[in-house]
A and B are shown apart, each in its own frame.
Chain A
């Protein structure tokens, strides 16, 4: 059965590659990217499968066991656009196209001058012979890096100007996970590329890691009362845990000035760095918009992109008026 499913998947992947991707790459003189193109199709197809799984599992949770009852789901539509663009690989492809040339140039220069950056396996010899251990170690490192990227996006005003788009959703659903300003996506790509250069993230693991993280992220944004239990909520990020990250209001404690619960997968980072906040009730989500432009941009993709850039620029060129809020 598994082999039959693999064969079907490969048939579709091969057909798309042969008829769409390879001819375009050849025509553009980008044959060096052929293998990457083939893997890119796999990435997009897995995105479709992953979205299907997310919809099949999480939509019933939202319908039958919601945290909030909504009279209509119109506000969710824009998040669906973000999710489709992201999961089909369109945004990741654009991020890759923008970042890859510079990073390859840098890597090429380093290697040509006999500088080979040390990788995780150089620090932990033998790791490359233990794929499962290697997978979990990379997972923990990537999750740690994501915690800090996320936390910093709440700390710097210019970054919050972009990341605030993600938080402006008042009807948070499993689709909200991908609702990010495009520049925020680009910065996230840059963050990952730097990390990759530092520790050499193996691409074979990358797809598995990405899917694992994405499904958890979809679930953690789901509008549901589902909880992993008293202990479980401290072991892995779930809907209740992450809902507090998106809470419209947090206690006035200075600790939570920049937000709380930044972890993507493992709450351990919030526990370790003192940013955990968890209550039994399920708070409303969103941010307190301060301008009509912000309110108008709630449900509009292009308005959100424009607003993010405007606030980003304003944050760069003006002094802070008040602390960023989560």
Chain B
């Protein structure tokens, strides 16, 4: 080979491009479909039908599938995160709204926001194990590290409900601020962070002591969480029309950064290299991309109506 250095550089550039280029899957709730976005060009490359009234998507713990929760058609639709192709549908999952796997991967939990209920499934085969009444309006969920408890925010009764996964019984509720939405366990397993959508803060709960220990002011309509992947920081989407995303330090329990993200930022995803944060802007019908190095919005990608979840395979660790 005459130009080994040049060839090496060329190959490395190609590899780098290939590594960078992948498909992001975005769920459009009202349009009832998913959009595929080329993460290199930031352009929508296609769409595929999903199901009736889909809400939220999540990757399976092994990243082999992206699951879409279909509230009205009572099913889960699985997509291949690499190709975007539909893999399978699991029927008779009643009214799933928000989904979660317990850390030990034994439990698959589905919140039925509309029907005030939490369903506990065996994660291995998605067979129903128990139904727990959860008034009012069970929204998001978090687990403790030992997978003993699942914590559910109850949006309309302003509480956090704890369900014991061993007994499958509700244990206790604690009152929180108005309209709690997202909920996240700190990496040290000590505190629950709750996005208070009816106000402008994240409520910090010492769940073992069952009491609020702090309120971290973020912005109007604090909504959802995504860990940065460094084991210390978590992003908080503040879902208003002139919205923002806050970065919260989970050790000091303080807001350390904030980025303007208009259009109602809701669900988020972060690139594996930690350089970009993607967020679905529910009201703007867009996916907003924040360049975390420049700390500002870098791309606005038009998608469908009410985008409610974004996912790509090379994401940062979920902690």
Chain A interfacial positions (CB closer than 8 Å to B): 3, 6-7, 10, 13-15, 17-18, 22, 26, 29-32, 34-35, 38-39, 42, 104, 107-108, 111-112, 114, 116, 119, 121-122, 128-131, 200, 202-205
Contacts and interface: CB of A to CB of B under 8 A. Distances in A.
Contacts of B131: 112
Contacts of A38: 282-283, 306
B231 interface: no
B179 interface: yes
Nearest to A108: B115
A202 B178 contact: no
B283 A14 contact: yes
Contacts of A108: 114-117
B308 to A, nearest CB: 9
A42 B306 CA distance: 11
Contacts of A104: 114-115
27 contacts: A3-B302, A18-B241, A26-B178, A29-B156, A29-B178, A32-B113, A32-B114, A32-B155, A32-B156, A38-B283, A108-B117, A111-B94, A111-B112, A112-B115, A112-B133, A119-B52, A121-B52, A122-B91, A128-B52, A131-B33, A131-B49, A200-B72, A202-B53, A202-B72, A203-B30, A203-B53, A204-B305
B32 A39 contact: no
B240 interface: yes
A203 B72 contact: yes
A107 to B, nearest CB: 6
A17 B242 CA distance: 12
A119 B74 CA distance: 10
Interface residues of B, number: 49
A17 B282 CA distance: 12
Contact of B137 (A7, A18, A32, A121): A32
A14 B155 contact: no
A96 B145 CA distance: 42
Contacts of A6: 285, 302
Interface of B: 29-33, 49, 51-53, 72-74, 86, 91-92, 94-95, 112-117, 128, 131, 133, 136-137, 155-158, 178-179, 197-198, 221, 240-242, 263-264, 282-285, 302, 305-306
A31 B284 contact: no
A26 B178 CA distance: 8
Given A6-B302, A104-B114, A108-B115, A30 B156 contact: yes
Contacts of A204: 30-32, 52-53, 305
Given A32-B136, A107-B114, 8 more contacts: A18-B283, A31-B155, A32-B113, A104-B114, A108-B114, A112-B131, A128-B49, A204-B305
Contacts of A7: 284
Contacts of A112: 115, 117, 131, 133
A42 B49 CA distance: 22
A204 B74 CA distance: 16
A233 B253 CA distance: 69
Q: Tell which of A3, A14, A112, A129 has the most Cβ of chain B within 10 Å.
A: A14
Contacts of A128: 49, 51-52, 73
B118 to A, nearest CB: 11
Contacts of A17: 241, 283
Contacts of B306: 35, 38-39
Contacts of B302: 3, 6
Nearest to B117: A112
Given A14-B263, A32-B114, A111 B53 contact: no
A204 B95 CA distance: 16
